[in-house]
Amino acid sequence: MFKINDNYLKLPGSYLFSNIGKKVNAFTSANPDKKIIRLGIGDVTLPLAPKVIDTLHSAVDEMGSAASFKGYAPDLGYEFLRQAIATNDYKARGVEIALDEIFISDGAKSDSGNIGDIFAVDNKIAVCDPVYPVYVDTNVMAGRTGEYNVETERWSNVIYMPCTEATGFAPELPSQTPDIIYLCFPNNPTGATLNKAELQKWVDYALKVGAVIVYDAAYEAYISEEDVPHTIYECEGAKECSIEIRSFSKNAGFTGTRLGFTVIPKELKSGDTMLNSLWARRHGTKFNGAPYIIQKAGEAIYTEEGKAQTRQQVEYYMNNAKIIRDGLAAAGYSVSGGVNAPYIWLKTPDKMTSWEFFDYLLNEANVVGTPGSGFGPSGEGYFRLTAFGTYENTLEAMERIKAL
Ligand code: MLT
CB burial of residue 234 (10 Å; 0-12, 13-18, 19+):
middle
Task: Give CA–CA dist 78/115, Å, rounded.
Answer: 21
Report yes or no: 264 and 275 within 8 Å, Cβ to Cβ: yes
Residue with CA nearest ligand 1 atom 4 = 42
Q: Domain 13-47+306-402 is classified in which CATH homologous superfamily?
A: Aspartate Aminotransferase, domain 1 (3.90.1150.10)
CA of 43 to the centre of ligand 1 (A): 7
Atom number, ligand 1, closest to the C-alpha of residue 188: 3
Mutate to test the pocket of ligand 1, among 20, 39, 41, 386 (most ligand atoms within 8 A of CB): 41
Ligand 1 atom nearest residue 109's Cα? 9
Q: Roughly how many angstroms between the first and final C-alpha of the chain, as a whole number?
A: 57
Q: What are the residues whose beta carbons fall under 8 Å from the beta carbon of 48, sequence distance 6 or more?
A: 56, 252, 253, 254, 257, 297
Rounded Cα distance between 391 and 319, Å, is 8
Instruction: Calculate how far, in angstroms, residue 267's C-alpha sits from the geometric centre of ligand 1.
Output: 30
User: Mean pLDDT, consecutive 10-residue segments, the chain of 404 residues?
Assistant: 97 84 94 96 96 98 98 97 98 98 98 98 98 97 96 96 95 98 98 98 98 98 97 98 98 98 98 98 96 98 98 98 97 97 98 96 97 95 98 98 94
Q: What are phi and psi of 273, to 5 degrees?
A: -90, 125
Residue 42 Cα to ligand 1 middle (Å)? 5
Predicted pLDDT of residue 15: 78
Ligand 1 centroid – CA 188 distance (Å):
8
Q: Report strand pairing: 343-347 vs 335-337.
A: antiparallel
How many other CB atoms sit within 10 Å of the CB of residue 2? 3
Nearest protein CA to atom 3 of ligand 1, as residue: 42
Number of the ligand 1 atom closest to the C-alpha atom of 255: 8
Rounded to 5°, the CA angle 348-350-352 comes to 55
Nearest to 184 by CA among 197, 166, 202: 202
Task: Give 178's DSSP letter.
Answer: P
Atom of ligand 1 nearest to the CA of 40: 2
Gap from CA of 120 to ligand 1 centroid (Å)? 27
From the CA of 189, give the closest atom in ligand 1.
3
Give dist(CA 141, CA 136) in Å, integer.
9
What is the domain partition of the chain in residue ranges?
Answer: 13-47+306-402, 53-304
Q: Are strands 242-247 and 212-216 parallel, antiparallel or unpaired?
A: parallel
Q: Are 42 and 250 in contact (CB under 8 A)?
A: yes
pLDDT at residue number 14: 76
Q: Which helix (H) or strand (E) holds 236?
A: none
| Angle, alpha carbons 168-172-174 (nearest 5°) | 155
Look at ligand 1, atom 1, and give the residue with the nearest C-alpha. 42
Residue of 188, 255, 259 to mutate, ligand 1, most atoms within 8 A of C-beta? 188
Q: Indicate the helix (H) or strand (E) that contains 273.
A: strand 273-274
What's the CA-to-centroid distance between 41 and ligand 1, angstroms? Answer: 6
3-state DSSP assignment of residue 341: coil
CA angle, 327 then 328 then 330, to 5°: 65
| Closest to 19 (Cα-Cα) out of 41, 3, 34 | 41
Determine the pLDDT at residue 176: 98
Pocket around ligand 1 at a 6 A CB cut-off: 41-43, 109, 132, 188
Cα 332 to averaged position of ligand 1 atoms, centre (Å): 27
CA distances from 79 to 42, 58, 99, 101, 298 (A): 30, 18, 7, 12, 12
**CA-to-CA distance for 297 and 287, rounded, in angstroms?**
20
Helices then strands, counting H and E runs in the chain, come out as 12, 17
Distance 271 CA to ligand 1 centre (A): 35
CA of 304 to the centre of ligand 1 (A): 28
Give the pLDDT score at 19. 86
Cα 134 to ligand 1 centre (Å): 9
**Beta-sheet pairing, 260-263 with 158-162:** unpaired
Q: Whose CA is nearest to atom 6 of ligand 1?
A: 42
How many Å apart are CA 20 and CA 42, to the nearest integer?
13
Level-2 CATH architecture, domain 53-304: 3-Layer(aba) Sandwich (3.40)
Closest atom of ligand 1 to 134 CA is: 9
Instruction: State the pLDDT at residue 12.
Output: 84
Note whether 243 and 115 are within 8 A (CB).
Answer: yes
Q: Which of 113, 119, 62 minimizes the C-alpha distance to 299?
A: 62
CA of 70 to the centre of ligand 1 (A): 31
Predicted confidence at residue 404, as pLDDT, reads 92
